Structure 1
Amino acid sequence: GIGVVKAFAREPHEFDKFDRDNDKWFTMRYKAIHMWADYWPFFTFVLALCILLLLWFGGPQAIAGEITVGSLFALISYVLMLNAPVLHMGFVVNLAATAGASASRVFEIIDTPNEIVEASDAMELVDPRGEVRFEHVSFTYGQGRSILHEVNFVARPGQVVALIGPTGSGKSTITNLIPRFYDPTAGRVLVDSMDIRQLRLKSLRSHIGIVLQEPFLFNGTIAENIAYGRPDAPQERIVAAARAARAHDFIESFPEGYQTKVGERGVTLSGGQKQRIAIARALLYNPRILILDDSTSSVDTETEHIIQQALAVLMEGRTTFVIAQRLLTLKNADQILVLDHGRIIERGTHEELLALGGHYRTIYDLQLRDQEEFLALQNGNGVMCDA
């Protein structure tokens, strides 16, 4: 957030916030040190009191010969030997309290029940064709508002299904239900006519690849990130996936090539470079079902063209779900689903939806109509000039 702070000239505010938090921590730490400062002299006083009592009662007895002087000094030595363990026990109690507070937070996460429970008789998904079917699917996040309402559609093997709609219409929720990140509140999701709740999670997800709008890269090398889904993949396959994703050239431009460290979240790479590495990762994973979540929305036109070429290779022969706001990205889809408030309000191909004259047509008129009419006019002028 450093860039945002500088852009809005909020450095004084952030310094003040840091000072307040620092003062709060200092106050609590000071109280703890003050408590130790009180107890430390108290321990010393108790020790001195014990020695005083031993001398007070044991001294006369040693003078009278009832006990030996050696026995008296032995008792004093035993008391002095207790000093260090007692003080150490105080440190241990303090550390135990700190560790207990930390452990409670850790175990709170560890003990959080898994929302997705695998059935005891779950089956393996072997060599799927890639058909995905939603039957009367509804979904609600927790006790909040309903996100999806009675969603029904079928994606045939190898088809490209595009999802379009305003923010909050349920596009990402639909794609999150396919790898079973969540379970539908009602209805069911089927892959090759099998309810995904009856499939092993690892088996299901091993056939699904996802390329997100903001791809996540781990703090490792480029090769490690590409091979994340297939860690045993040989270098030749990693390079082949990078070539197909149009990433090989820029990777080779780095001094260390595929062994270049990308930093936390891929901080050393541009958005387009991270996107192409994510596509290469999906290519190497070789899924049967592919989910593309607005993969070109945050890049420039030239980079988008390169990514579109890489995506065309990635989508070939796979059942693909594409979330996009640009019609140019999804106009060639086999099936376009227009969502609004969690419902499919229109469905069909690009031409069918234009002929319908509904919500999709409105989006088309805003985004593409003028551009396509201009291109058609240019083509027409070119033909006339040739004549």
Structure 2
Amino acid sequence: MSVTLAEFPLRPASNREPLLRLLLAGGPRASRRRLLESPGLPPGIELAARMAAVPRAVLVRCEAWLDQAGHHLLAWDDPRYPPLLRQCPDAPLGLFVAGDPDLLWRPALAVVGSRSASAGGRDNARDFSRAFCRAGLVVASGMAAGIDGAAHEAALDSGGTTIAVLGTGPDLPYPRHHARLMERVAAQGAVVSEHPPGTPPRAQNFPGRNRIIAGLALGTLVVEAALRSGALITARLAAEYGREVFAVPGSIHQPQARGCHRLIREGAQLVEQPLEVLEGIAGLAGRLALALEPDVAPEGASAGGTETAPPLSADHQRLWRALGHDPIPMDVLVERTGLTPASLSSMLLAMELDGRVVAEHGRYARRSTAGASAA
């Protein structure tokens, strides 16, 4: 089989097959990522054989899913691929996304915890998630029962945005009773999976799901967790990626609090209210924004966003003029500035973390206290 990726990164819908075969071939990520970064290179014999062995039925299912409105495939070299996740050494080569892929650029906090959560734990997940959404952050979680579901529902009910990362294909809710919740997330946020449509729940897929949650977020909050819990995997990965880890303490008699207590002993920040989490990510948020790419954040902006920045670049000035004090959707900003959604998302992320811009329900506006310094 002769395979070429030279047509990419444009990847018209009529020619997705080489990319799908590469993403679904399995095997070492490094060799496949090298092909994405240098599409003129031919695959080795072993990789070409794995690409040829991808079942036709799987390709047809993927194509049919991607042909539906609101469905996307973000490969490693796609400019829309989330930059914070790209920094992780084991980031997936591709993401199937149902909903708004631009949300993956927005600053997010992961809220995770026990599937068999207590009533108090679910209340805490809701309270923290609502507060994060009011602060303009996206809530990321894993669509599981218990804490995850409560976090997603609270974000949606409060008018905020949320990202659900699945261990199944992007078309299969797990647990099944979250089918309606998954529909709401896709309509108001984004459903994300590295697995192709039709992939059933398999135990080995969920640790990988947890690494994506940790990689997308500035920090991970564990609300409740037993000593053997997937939430602890997410927290450990977040720490390995250099992100902040927070844990809500509980009763010493509550088994679902023991995982949180272990995290606190190991260095996680003990938090009792959402403001403590927001303060905990402030410095990291600024540093990560500046690290995304040299021209994403205005040069000279401090990690906390408190210093006066020098004049903005031409593109930043164009974006600033397009913004007003009334929230504006992304498509209007694209029309006003002539810039791509990916470029706008990166600039808006930096300006939001720097305190210049506020995001509300997918719309952007100047933050009233930032006008003087940004001008």
TM-score (norm 1): 0.27
TM-score (norm 2): 0.28
User: Which of the two has greater helix per residue?
Assistant: 1
State the structure with more CA Rg.
1
Larger RCO: 1 or 2 (CA < 8 Å, sep 6+): 1
